[in-house]
Amino acid sequence: MQRSWPILAGSLLLALCAEPALAFCGFYVAKADTKLFNRASQVAIVRDGDRTVMTMSNDFQGDPTEFAMVIPVPTVVKREQIAVSEKALLDHLDAYSSPRLVEYHDPDPCQREVYEGLRALGYLRAPASPKMRDERQKSLGVTIEARYTVGEYDILILSATQSGGLETWLRENGYRIPRGASEVLGSYIRQQMRFFVARVNLKEQARLGFTYLRPLQVAYESPRFMLPIRLGTVNADGPQELFVFTLTRQGRVESTNYRTVRLPSDVDVPTYVKHEFGPFYKAMFAEQVRREDMSVVFTEYAWDMAWCDPCAADPLSAGELRRLGVWWVEGDTTAGANVFLTRLHVRYDGDHFPQDLVFQQTGDRQNFQGRYVMHHPWTGEAACSEGDAYRRAVSARMEREAQNLAHLTGWSLEKVRRRAGLAPPPHAQQVTPAQRSWWDRLWDW
């Protein structure tokens, strides 16, 4: 049986939370989680000092016999350092940190205090015998440092002396190695990295009764704070999507060998985005990637995990954090535990991301979230004098919102205006001769 490797494929599921939840700054109405993206991998990295716990998951949806994962790791890992985690933990982390849409309802402009308040706030905007196998792998320079069955996975920790041998060994053992992988494997071998190879043990999977692949978790101690992405770019069919959630004690995590850029946030958008927040987020991300020439790492969320505002999902419990590997959280409460979450989103390919991602923890504890804001205009009667001013302000605000949306997503402004129910821009409207400037009349002859 040939196993494709590394496999990152999946289906697109759009899950929007329509249930509004009350929060201090606006009503949280929707989130855009990682399920929106095809070929997405999620990695949670808990890191403090040199201690690292990595939880890896991808959206593989095919036949489990086709699944295999080869990950370079900086050290040999023992059986006790590997665990199978729960998909729900990563899903919760994803939901908690997703870009979110919030909404505000404009109050009655005729209630002067409220109107003034808003204005002040600026809102009016193949199997062989074991012996033969051993000899074969020795001749290829491949050493199986350890072999474990953890949950539904068979895991091998390999070290190798030559890339050709390792590639041959992997092929002979049923891994479909892309052309060009040999060079990359060779580089990791010379960097004295080991290879963590996981595949599904069907018997164990049937016994355990899981119908999907649970994330794998590895704990190790190494000064290297990095994520190997080069293997995934060999012969990859187009760019891939990677979400990295780091949980650290000190502060935000950023890349040291690529620019780390914040996703545009706190932007007012037209209210129709409420019904298509998923496509909005995808288009916006694609546009930002295009503008940055697909060469940056985006920060989508950076927050102290003790709280959130508005909450796209409840913060993780102390138990959940511990299960993700946050060993310094004790007891039942996360208060004062100092867990800082950074959510990084990378779209990468071999041309734009030639190196593995290297990270550093910074002292930055400023909170940041991808947050998009809708303002619902007051629809009641506003017969007072402030009503006219309010309507003019709302028109101007809606125009700005449409422009924001077009700018963020690269969508056509005309289309956005139409969708937002806006009239054509003022310059296209009929103007009286008195309103025309002298230069408008200059070439009227």
Under the binding rule (CB under 8 A), the answer on residue 362 touching other proteins is yes
**Interaction between residue 139 and other proteins (CB under 8 A):** no
CA distance 323 to 53: 10
- The reply to whether 354 sits near other proteins by the rule CB under 8 A is yes
Q: What is the 3-state secondary structure (H, E, C) of the chain?
A: CCEECCCCCCCCCCCCCCCCEEECCEEEEEECCHHHCCCEEEEEEEEECCEEEEEEEECCCCCHHHCEEEEEECCCCCHHHEEECCHHHHHHHHHHHCCEEEEEECCCCCCHHHHHHHHHHCCCCCCCCHHHHHHHHHHCCEEEEEEEEECCEEEEEEEECCHHHHHHHHHHCCEECCCCHHHHHHHHHHCCCEEEEEEECHHHHHHHCCCCCCCEEEEEECCCCEECCHHHHCCCCCCEEEEEEEEECCCCEEECCCEEEECCCCEECCHHHHHHHHHHHHHHHHHHHHHCCCCEEEEEEEEECCCCCCCCCCCCCHHHHHHHCCCCCCCCCCCCCCCEEEEEEEEECCCCCCCCEEEEECCCCCCEECEEEEEECCCCCCCCHHHHHHHHHHHHHHHHHHHHHHHHHCCCHHHHHHHCCCCCCHHHCCCCHHHCCHHHHCCCC
For residues 227 and 350, what is the distance between their CA atoms, to the nearest angstrom? 14
Minimum CB separation from other proteins for residue 190, in Å?
A: 5
Among the listed residues 119, 125, 133, 224, the single contact to other proteins using CB under 8 A: 224
Distance of CA 76 to the CA centre of its chain: 29
Q: How many CB atoms neighbour CB 278 within 10 A?
A: 19
To the nearest whole angstrom, how small is the minimum distance from the Cβ of residue 184 to other proteins?
8
Q: Binding to other proteins by residue 366, rule CB under 8 A?
A: yes
Our finding on whether 435 is near other proteins (CB under 8 A) is no
Backbone region of residue 394 per phi and psi (left: phi > 0; alpha: psi in -120 to 50; beta: other values): alpha
Mask for 46-85, x = binds other proteins (CB under 8 A): ----------------------------------------
Give yes or no for residue 207 binding other proteins (CB under 8 A): no
Q: Which of residues 143-202 bind other proteins (CB under 8 A)?
A: 163, 183, 186-187, 190-191
User: Under the criterion CB under 8 A, does residue 348 sit at the interface with other proteins?
Assistant: no
Is the Cβ of residue 81 or residue 163 nearer to other proteins in the bound state?
163
- The correct pick among 78, 112, 147, 365 for binding other proteins (CB under 8 A) is 365
Q: Which is nearer to other proteins, 74 or 278 (CB)?
A: 74
Query: Of 55 and 182, which has the nearer Cβ to other proteins?
Result: 182
**Residue 6: how many CB atoms within 10 A of its CB?**
23
Cβ 255 to other proteins, closest distance in Å?
5
- Report, in Å, the least distance between residue 256 CB and other proteins: 5
Nearer to other proteins, 235 or 360 (CB): 360
**Interface positions, 243-262, toward other proteins (CB under 8 A):** 250-251, 254-262
CB of 235 to other proteins, least distance (A): 14
Q: Does 235 bind other proteins (CB under 8 A)?
A: no
221 makes contact with other proteins (CB under 8 A):
no
Q: Which is nearer to other proteins, 45 or 101 (CB)?
A: 45
User: In whole angstroms, how close is the CB of 364 to other proteins at the nearest point?
Assistant: 6
Residue 247 CA to residue 40 CA, distance in Å, equals 20
Residue selected from 122, 130, 363, 433 as contacting other proteins according to rule CB under 8 A: 363
Nearer to other proteins, 133 or 262 (CB): 262
Q: How far is the CB of 282 from other proteins (least distance, A)?
A: 23
**CB closer to other proteins out of 124 and 193:** 193
Query: Least Å distance between CB 353 and other proteins?
Result: 9
Number of residues that bind other proteins (CB under 8 A): 33
31 or 47, CB closer to other proteins?
47
Tell which residue, 151, 141, 135, has the closest CA to residue 199: 151
Between 141 and 251, CB nearer to other proteins: 251
Q: Which residues of this chain interact with other proteins, rule CB under 8 A?
A: 163, 183, 186-187, 190-191, 222-225, 250-251, 254-262, 293, 295-296, 354-355, 358, 360, 362-366
